[in-house]
Amino acid sequence: MKALDELTFDNRFARLGDAFSTHVLPEPLDAPRLVVASNAAMALLDLDPAVAETPVFAELFGGHKLWAEAEPRAMVYSGHQFGGYTPQLGDGRGLLLGEVYNQAGEHWDLHLKGAGMTPYSRMGDGRAVLRSSIREFLASEALHALGIPSSRALCVIGSDTPVWREKQERGAMVLRLAHSHIRFGHFEYFYYTKKPEQQAELAEHVLNLHYPECREQPEPYLAMFREIVERNAEMIAKWQAYGFCHGVMNTDNMSILGITFDFGPFAFLDDFDAHFICNHSDHEGRYSFSNQVPIGQWNLSALAQALTPFIRVDALKEALGLYLPLYQAHYLDLMRRRLGLTTAEDDDQPLVERLLKLMQNSGVDYTLFFRRLGDESAALAVARLRDDFVDLGGFDAWADQYKARVARDGDYSEAQRRERMHAVNPLYILRNYLAQNAIAAAESGDYSEVRRLHEALSKPFEEQPGMEQYAQRPPDWGKHLEISCSS
C-alpha cells in the first residue's frame, strides 16, 4: 500500500510534446470535499483506501495541489459528432494529470474531469457539475463490476464553486482512470489536419504501448486495427446484452482501447425497449439502444478512414467485415448464458429474439426478468414470470420452447442452475432513478446514499442484505426521467 505522495509517474503521452497536448494547470474548486471514492479503483494505484478520507486527497483531486512529477496536459482531438465532422474538439474541461505506474507494472492515466478552462474549451466553462460527476463515477464502476470494459473512476470531489447550467449548480471533479485516453478522434484530428508525421508518431505510440503483441504480426498496424474492431464488437455485445445505452457515441467518445468511455446521458434499460433513446438531444435516435450496433461499425469506419495512410483500404474493409459476425457471436453467447444455457443450438437466436419482442410489447423489466428466471427451475420460473406479460398466448408458446430447450441442454440441479444464472444476471443495476435519488441527497450535502448505491453496484450479482431497495422496478416517476445533456 502506498501513501498519496508515493505514486510513481511516467508521463508517456506528455512526452509526445506540444503538437499533441497543451500544458494547463487545474483550476481549484472552492472548499473541496470527498463525495465518494472507489476502493477497487484505489487498489489500481496501490493506494490505501483510508487516504481518501484525508484532507490532502480532496486537495489533490479538487485541483489545489499537484504532485511534483505530474504534468497536467489538455489533449487535442477532433471527431464526428452525430455524424458530422467537428474539426477541433479536445479536452475542454479535463486534464491528463499524468500516468501512474503501479506495482503490477500497469500504467494508469489520471484524468481530472471538471478541472477548468483549456485552449479547447470553446464556449464551455471548463467545469463539470456534481450530478454528472456522480453519474460518471457510478456508471464506470458499475460497468466494470458487470464485466463490461470501461474507464474507471477513483473519486468524486464536491465543492462550493457555483456553476451555471439550466440553473445554478455546484462544480465537482471526477478522477478518471484508464490505460489510455486516446480516442478515435485523436487519429481523425491528425488525418484531417494533414499532419502525417504526427499521425505516424501517434500510431507508433499506441502500437508500442497498448498493442505491443501486434508488433509480431506481418502488418502491425493492420493487426492493431483488427484488434480494435474485435474489442469494440465485444464491448458493444456486452452493452446490448446488459441493456446499457451510451447515449453519445460520437467518435471523440470512442476509446482506442475498446472500453466504455466519456459518460453523458447514458442509461441502463428498465423495461426492455429496443428503440430507447436516452439522450434527449438525440432527436432522430441515431444513438438509440438498437442503433448502437450499426453505429459501432460506423465509428470504426471513421477510424479506418483516418488510418488509410498506414493500412491498405482492402485490408481495412476486410477487418471492418469482422465486426458484425463477431458482435453477433459474443451477443448470442452472452444471451445464452443469461438464459442459463450451456450448449449452442441453431435456433437459439430466434429464441432470444422472440423473448425480447414479448418483453418489448409488455414493458417487462429487463434486469429482473433474467434474475428471476434463474431463481428456480425453468418450469416454476416461467410460471411465475407469466403474469408480467400481456400476450399470454405468445409467452406460453415461448415458455414451452424454452423449457424444452433447457431440458435438452443438460441435466443439472436447481441449485446449479441458480448459481450459474445468478453469476451472469445482476440483481442490482444503475437505474436512472436510483442515480437520481443519490444525486438529490448529495446536492443537499448527504453523500451516504451515493456511497451505499456504489457499494451495492460493486457486487451486482451478489444478493446483499439491506440493499433490497436497489433491486426493485422503478416507481412511475422514475421510469422516464429526462437526463439533461448539459453536464
Catalytic residues: 252
The partner in contact with residue 396, picked from Mg ion, ligand AMP, none with C-beta cut-offs of 5 to 8 angstroms by kind, is: none
**DSSP classification of residue 14:** G
Q: Which one of residues 72, 90, 247, 426 is an interface residue with ligand AMP (CB under 6 A)?
A: 90
- 3-state SS track over 274-299: CCCCCCCCCCCCCCCCCCHHHHHHHH
Length, in residues, of the chain: 487
How many helices (H) and strands (E) the chain has is answered by 17, 13
Q: Which is nearer to Mg ion, 93 or 422 (CB)?
A: 93
Interface with ligand AMP, residue 255, by CB under 6 A: no
Which of 72, 98, 264, 296 is in the footprint of ligand AMP by CB under 6 A?
264
Phi, psi of 193 (to 5 degrees): -90, 5
For residue 279, state whether it binds Mg ion (rule: CB under 5 A): no
- Partner whose footprint covers residue 264, from Mg ion, ligand AMP, none (CB < 5 to 8 Å by kind): ligand AMP
Q: Which does 125 bind (CB under 5 to 8 A by kind): Mg ion, ligand AMP, none?
A: ligand AMP
Does residue 161 interact with Mg ion by CB under 5 A? no
Integer angstrom CA distances of residue 448 from 62, 132, 436, 442, 451? 20, 17, 14, 8, 5
* Amino acid identity for residue 62 in this structure: G
| Neighbour count for residue 165 (Cβ, 10 Å) | 14
- Judged by CB under 5 A, the residue of 27, 262, 273, 409 near Mg ion is 262
- Alpha carbon distance 419, 425 (integer Å): 10
DSSP for 152-198 reads EEEEEEEEEEEEESSSEEEEEEEEEEES---BHHHHHHHHHTT-HHH
User: Is 151 an interacting residue with respect to Mg ion (CB under 5 A)?
Assistant: no
Give yes or no for residue 474 binding ligand AMP (CB under 6 A).
no
Cell numbers describing residue 145: 463490476
Instruction: Give the one residue of 17, 55, 124, 350 binding ligand AMP; rule: CB under 6 A.
Output: 124
Considering only 109, 262, 273, 282, the residue that binds ligand AMP (CB under 6 A) is 262
Interaction between residue 119 and ligand AMP (CB under 6 A): no
Phi and psi, residue 334, nearest 5°: -65, -40
Among 248, 358, 364, 439, binds ligand AMP (CB under 6 A): 248
Task: Answer with the entry of Mg ion, ligand AMP, none that 327 interacts with (C-beta below 5 to 8 A by kind).
Answer: none
Determine if 135 is a binding residue for ligand AMP (CB under 6 A).
no
Least Cβ distance, residue 248 to ligand AMP (angstroms): 5
Q: Does 234 bind Mg ion (CB under 5 A)?
A: no
Which listed residue (62, 72, 98, 126) binds ligand AMP by CB under 6 A? 126
Provide the minimum distance between the beta carbon of 297 and Mg ion in the complex, in angstroms, as a whole number.
Answer: 20
Distance in Å, CB of 41 to ligand AMP, minimum:
21
Residue type, 341: L
Nearer to ligand AMP, 89 or 453 (CB): 89
Q: Is 127 in the site for ligand AMP (CB under 6 A)?
A: yes
Which residues is 365 bridged to in the sheet?
A: 271
Question: Per CB under 6 A, which region of 119-127, 332-340, 357-365, 373-381 contacts ligand AMP?
Answer: 119-127
What residue has cell string 441453431?
346
Nearer Cβ to Mg ion (240/253): 253
Distance in Å, CB of 114 to ligand AMP, minimum = 8
Find the residue with minimal CB distance to ligand AMP: 124
Q: Considering the rule CB under 5 A, would residue 27 count as an interface residue with Mg ion? A: no
Q: Which is nearer to ligand AMP, 198 or 486 (CB)?
A: 486
Q: One symbol per residue from 195 to 214: x for binding Mg ion (CB under 5 A), - otherwise; what is it? A: --------------------
Grid coordinates in use for 152?
A: 474507471
Q: Report the DSSP pairing between strands 244-245 and 73-75.
A: unpaired
Contacts of 183 (CB under 8 A, 6+ apart): 77, 79, 251, 252, 253, 254, 255, 256, 261
Compute the C-alpha angle 245/185/483, nearest 5°. Answer: 30
Task: Check residue 205 for interaction with ligand AMP (CB under 6 A).
Answer: no
Q: Write the DSSP symbol of residue 42.
A: H
Tell me the C-alpha distance between 97 and 178, whole Å.
Answer: 12
Between the alpha carbon of residue 23 and those of residues 93, 97, 181, 321, the distances in Å are 13, 10, 16, 40
Pull the grid cell for residue 450: 451515493
Q: How many CB atoms lie within 10 A of CB 388?
A: 17
Compute how many residues bind ligand AMP; rule: CB under 6 A: 15
Stretch that binds ligand AMP, among 85-93, 174-182, 234-242, 459-467 (CB under 6 A): 85-93
Q: Of the candidates 11, 21, 180, 253, which one interacts with Mg ion according to CB under 5 A? A: 253
Residues near Mg ion, by CB under 5 A:
253, 262
Residues near ligand AMP, by CB under 6 A:
89-93, 120-121, 124-127, 248, 253, 262, 264
